[in-house]
Amino acid sequence: MITINNQQSIKTSCGYDTFWKFAYERQNIFMKRIQGERSNLTKDDVLQSFKFTNTYRASDRVSQYLIKNIIYTKKFSVIDTVFRILLFKLFNKIETWELLEKTFGEITTETYSSLRYIQALDKAMDSGIRIYSNAYMMASGSKAFPVKRKHHAHFLLLDRMLKDELPQQLESCHTMEAAYNLILSYPMIGNFLAYQYVTDVNYSEVTSFSECEFTVPGPGSKDGIRKCFEDKAGYSDTDIIKIMTERQEYEFERLGLDFKYLGNRSLQYIDIQNIFCETDKYCRVVHPELEGYSGRTRIKQKFKINNKPIDLFYPPKWNIRM
């Protein structure tokens, strides 16, 4: 039971403490790995068996690649920075970006041609190469753009964004919500993707929003929230994410968990949102009696050891000190 403002009480389930314990243990694994440990990372059977994203979104391999290799590899203009971010995120796959770089050299709007990029990825797909990540289910775009292949529509979408001067518009936004709504206004982009994209743009110097000013719970996050609470006492899922963010220090202390923060950075709304999504998956094994909205009962992705080291790099404006 959580009491808010000495008035409303939110009824928690057994999944509530699991949320905090999962966040703690997953962060422990991450910290051990960056310290060079490769074995005995955890005694948790579920975390040993299945793949889960990091507690901090920015610590995942794809986010790290985006920050280091797409955004901050050199100084780009506002237009090129946003263009590179959106192009990368449309596929969300490192191998696809590297294929395009190998084919066309440094990726900027000056050298970009949707036709040539489409042809390059057509060739890749015809040879059996997968160009999209499994992380996000991208819309096909068949309604907005009359094309046969999904990536054709995505390049046409990117062309429209550049024509509309979306990068400059994003730079002019005063709030994360305003930037989110701009991205959301485009076809093929729903609430979840718009929130992911505005977060990615915000890693750059184009915008400088607080990650604790705006949030949008995705489908997996909503499932996790449902499994952690029996009665939300009228609070929305967005409210719950904000409440959890505010309570993090108290809850880790209550459970006797010495949570290893990312330097001086506490968990932000986007991190709490992601942890709910991962808690939903985790609960499918440890609390199968808890029901989400999706009805999913299995975790698809098995854990596979990736010993390729990550040279951690976070947005300089965060002033992370590890």
pLDDT tens, position by position, for the chain (322 residues)?
A: 565 555 568 899 999 999 999 999 999 999 998 888 877 889 999 999 999 999 999 999 999 999 999 999 999 999 999 999 999 999 999 999 999 999 999 999 999 999 999 999 999 999 999 999 876 666 655 677 878 899 999 999 999 999 999 999 999 999 999 999 999 999 999 999 999 999 999 999 999 999 999 999 999 999 999 999 999 988 999 999 999 999 999 999 999 999 999 999 999 999 999 999 999 999 999 999 999 888 888 888 887 777 777 789 999 999 987 6
* Whole-number pLDDT of residue 2: 67
* Whole-number pLDDT of residue 39: 77
DSSP, collapsed to helix, strand or coil, labels residue 144 as: coil
Q: How far is CA 130 from the centre of its chain?
A: 20
* Whole-number pLDDT of residue 117: 97
Question: How many angstroms separate the CA atoms of 85 and 134, rounded?
Answer: 18
- Two structure tokens written together for 322: 């590890």
DSSP tag of 141: -
> Residue 230 is which amino acid?
E
- Two structure tokens written together for 63: 């986010």
Cβ 59 vs Cβ 312: under 8 Å: yes
Question: How many angstroms separate the CA atoms of 21 and 136, rounded?
Answer: 26
* Whole-number pLDDT of residue 135: 67
Q: Give the count of beta carbons closer than 10 Å to the beta carbon of residue 294.
A: 12
The CA distances from residue 205 to 3, 61, 177, in Å, are: 39, 20, 17
The CA distances from residue 94 to 88, 311, 316, in Å, are: 8, 15, 22
* Whole-number pLDDT of residue 116: 97
